[in-house]
Chain A
């Protein structure tokens, strides 16, 4: 018996993979990936909070300094001292770009909406008529702040727990002349990203699409889209 046969004899004792091994492994791998992304997002939010705290402390200290010196010329303003809330995490900038793009496709002449209702958690396949599994955790505080800032010129943002909260039950229009935005999780791969978004204005006025983007930090541009997955 040669050496390979000797080891083969032992290899034959190895367990066989279970019939559903691949399915179970894929589920577990997806779960791991999802959990990692969430942790990365939380880490980004934590970093944002720390930066904001440091900035606010700096403002407070500077203000104290100014008061004690009584020198208005050196008095810092809050706006100059504040850091960009969307800085450490790219998601707010990505979402802002695709929301404006899809909104522009729906209503090219509307540059400002009375209100932007944003569903406060992400769901898979929001670009499809039927949504996939929704995230149990709401959008992070950093993400909300970033969306507020990124969409300020497009309309005031209000976060809602679900679509029915702001949908008129009679004519299915979004209340107060606003639009309802649902976001999918951002899939980041270095300087490239892909994300799904859907916007509804009324019962027969909405659409969803998948966008590909390139960029970094707060500067993202759309490089492609899969077309409207649904149009109502």
Chain B
């Protein structure tokens, strides 16, 4: 196997779990996350010689670009229609935890793509506002305001999982 392919395979094996989590947070969609990561990694392979010094930054940039630009998303899968309602858990504490997580996910999905990307890049990846601004093509002030609004929604949804309590606006 050529050295280029060996390096690429090693990168995919080592970094895919983290990159898939990032793709999931950016898209708030399991299937969509796999799609955009696959697209990003194939593009990385095609430019490997030029990006080999820091392939992760390149892949991250493609993930962000694809996730925030609705037109570039391979396709969108939001909800599955099911004939039967799944069984509800009996345990009240477990149920509350699941409610919180579901509400959190719903809140993440409800954020506009760029706001979601700002929150994830700033507070999960740990980039500074200037780096996030560069990736999103906006000012640091916009990053700060978008991040603050997005986080407010997420915190509220986790604290008050029931929408009737006014958590998710």
Which residues of A does B touch, CB under 8 Å?
1, 3-4, 6-17, 21-23, 25-26, 28-30, 32-33, 36, 189
Q: A8-B124, A17-B17 are in contact. Are A26 and B9 (CB under 8 A)?
A: yes
Q: Give the docked Cα–Cα distance between A12 and B21 (Å).
A: 7
Q: Give the docked Cα–Cα distance between A36 and B46 (Å).
A: 10
Q: A1-B158, A25-B38 are in contact. Are A11 and B45 (CB under 8 A)?
A: no
Contacts of A15 in B (CB 8 A): 20, 24, 30, 33-34
| Interface of A, helix, strand, loop or mixed by DSSP | helix
Total number of residue pairs linking A and B with CB closer than 8 Å: 89
Contacts of B20 in A (CB 8 A): 14-17
Contact of B124 among A7, A16, A36, A189 (CB under 8 A): A7
Contact of A7 among B17, B46, B119 (CB under 8 A): B119
Which residues of B does A touch, CB under 8 Å?
5, 8-9, 12-13, 16-17, 20-25, 30, 33-34, 38, 41-42, 45-46, 49, 101, 104-105, 108, 119-120, 123-124, 126, 151, 154-155, 158
Known: A4-B126, A25-B12, A26-B12. 4 other contacts (CB 8 A): A1-B158, A7-B120, A25-B38, A25-B41
Contact of B101 among A13, A14, A16, A17 (CB under 8 A): A13
Q: How far is the CB of B47 from chain A (nearest CB, A)?
A: 10
Contacts of B17 in A (CB 8 A): 16-17
Q: Is the CB of A9 within 8 A of B45?
A: no
Contact of B104 among A4, A6, A25, A29 (CB under 8 A): A6
Q: Give the docked Cα–Cα distance between A167 and B34 (Å).
A: 50
Contact of A11 among B24, B49, B119 (CB under 8 A): B24
| Interface of B, helix, strand, loop or mixed by DSSP | helix
Contact of A29 among B41, B119, B154 (CB under 8 A): B41
Which residue of chain B has the shortest Cβ distance to A14 in the bound complex? B24
Q: Is the CB of A26 within 8 A of B5?
A: yes
Contacts of B108 in A (CB 8 A): 10
Q: Give the docked Cα–Cα distance between A15 and B77 (Å).
A: 15
Contacts of A13 in B (CB 8 A): 24, 30, 101, 105
Contact of B154 among A6, A16, A17 (CB under 8 A): A6
Contact of A21 among B12, B105, B126, B158 (CB under 8 A): B12
Q: Give the docked Cα–Cα distance between A15 and B22 (Å).
A: 11
Contact of B8 among A10, A29, A36 (CB under 8 A): A29
Q: Give the docked Cα–Cα distance between A60 and B13 (Å).
A: 60
Q: A25-B12, A26-B45, A189-B49 are in contact. Are A11 and B123 (CB under 8 A)?
A: no
Q: How far is the CB of A39 from chain B (nearest CB, A)?
A: 13
Q: Give the docked Cα–Cα distance between A14 and B5 (Å).
A: 26
Q: Is the CB of A29 within 8 A of B105?
A: no
Q: Is the CB of B13 within 8 A of A29?
A: no
Which residue of chain A has the shortest Cβ distance to B13 in the bound complex? A22
Q: Is the CB of A9 within 8 A of B101?
A: yes
Contacts of B21 in A (CB 8 A): 11-12, 14
Q: What would 17 A/B residue contacts be, using CB atoms closer than 8 Å? A: A3-B155, A4-B126, A6-B154, A7-B123, A7-B124, A8-B124, A10-B105, A11-B124, A15-B24, A15-B34, A16-B17, A21-B16, A25-B38, A29-B45, A30-B5, A33-B46, A36-B46
